Structure 1
Amino acid sequence: MQNQALNPSSPVISSVAAVAPRAQASVRNLPVNLFASVMGFSGLALAWRLAHEGLGAPAIVGEAIGAFALGVFVLIAAGYLTKLVRHPQAVHAEFHHPVAGNFFGTIAISILLLSAVIAPYSAPLAHLAWTIGLLATFALSFAGLSRLLKGQVDASLAVPAWIIPGVATLDIPVTGAHMPMAWAAEANLAASAIGVVLALVLFTMIIGRLVHRDPLAPAMEPSLMILVAPFAVGFLAYTNIVGEIDRFASLLFYFGLFMFAVVAPKVFRRGASFAPSWWAIGFPMAALANAALKYAESHPSEPLWAIAIVLLAALNVALAVLTVKTVRIALNGKLFA
């Protein structure tokens, strides 16, 4: 029997095609998942800050990448706002799509991460950005879960992108553990509660779909890296809340590392064609690199520092390659086609 996930008429492929119909190059085809690039660059900037503290890496590297992440966000946000104004029906269809709609969480996560990037330069602006990101994250998580609970959702659509809203709520305490507002501590706890339960439930559903149903279509295979995020981000959120790296934090870190070892060979394979969906690998890798650097600093040993350095180096290479390829398709018009 023909593999349904590889068949253009399958529910996943046909429904995605409905969101992005074939047409001439137009801003209406700008994918919301491109905001994942901002997540990757912001995570890389924060990782270099940790490398500066733990390894003595040049501070300018992380700050320069952070400025670049902010510039990329402004550029993509301007493009997507143009899409919203000119083609609101396309944005509406994308938001209500059972797969693509989850990527609106990348906007909220980008804002949360950028609040941490700009915090050393402007505390008030960082507080404002974090608050906006928090409200957007809660709203998107509520909308996402409400949509699933309507029922009659095709089980084949339970793909790794579903877990983005849960990861988004976990990013609230990752970036807001030191927010001075009186209500921030309770908001961080609420976000952690929502994120942990959502991530675990959806992770179980996604693993069940991957085990019992047809494999993901090749174009969706990079999203497998998202399965690393709940544990790497969970590690960062948990350690920020409790203020230490205890045994439970160690369990989260090591399982995140294990998941990366499992999915990496499935993602980084020869012959894989590039698409904007590849940016899905950036933030999970960045979260794991940040977790590894933080863990190695708390439990210093040569193997742990080696793991952290290798992950940071791999993240740099991956984002550099994705940047070059994205600029190339932007210049030849394929990004908007």
Structure 2
Amino acid sequence: MYQTLSLSDLPARDRFPFWRETVASTVVPLDITSDHADKFEATMHLLNLGAVQVSAHTHSPIHVCRTAKMIRQSIPEHYQLTLVRRGTVTAAQAGRDTKVGPGDLVLHDTWRPLHGTHAGHDRVGGIQVMVPRELIPLRLDRAGRLCATRLMGREGVGALLRQFLTQVTRNADIYRPADVTRLGGVCIDLLTALLAHHLETECTVPHESRQRTLLLRIHAHIERSLGDPQLSLDTIAAAHHISVRSLHRLFAAQGTTVSEWIRTRRLEQCRRELASADHRHLPIRAIAARWGYNHPGNFTRAFRTAYGLSPDEYRRHRTLYQ
């Protein structure tokens, strides 16, 4: 499910050939060249989420080419999305070409020739997602229009997908086998939503996928707004252009309520800060206010109900074991 690759233990002369072979066998066959082949450096963290493969990598600058011969030798057809984190990526496919930098995304497919460059002063890096073509519920001719174009990763669904990929690869070693299919489904939903946004074909995305993506966007909105005492059902619904009734239905389908979700996330953030040595100097009331509790009494009652101890008791108990 999770693999880590580093070239640091290999002799310098063997590193670049080994990297080429590894990419061909674990990601997709490519003709890779580099002006830094004699001193090549690279690391890769590979995470398999069911049918979806996610890989986080850093490496010396490279040039890549996927030829018609390589395409004939590898039958499976996938979309590949790259989130650029360091350096720049240029991609040319199907008569289009683009250049993207850190924070942005670029899409290409594996069944048409591709030319690209990963450039930087020393190392370049990013996260790549491989998704089988048939799992993206958009017409092939429409989704193909987005290959070798810049997709925004700093706002809207693009930002949500970027955050998901960053988080899922950062904690890749903690997931259980039962988690992988769910996480793969989240990745497919977010990628589909991103492509649909750029194509303005939201109506072609299955209802279930749209609902899951909307719920993820609402979760992210709530997380950003936990410290706002004015956070409410009305403000959340208005921010996502839905009715309060629709908002209730989304959370009811997950077996919870909006208010319960907000309360749980606020208490969890307070609990983490009470347990942290870095926040030991902060008064409890200041921590509570930071996460939206303006009335200390209400916070104390909610915390005791959730964790069986008052905030002060919990902090003293945690201090004994630090």
TM interval, shorter chain, is under 0.3
TM-score by length of 1: 0.23
Largest Rg, 1 or 2: 2
Larger RCO of the pair (alpha carbons < 8 Å, separation 6+): 1
From the two aligned structures, give the one with the greater helix fraction: 1
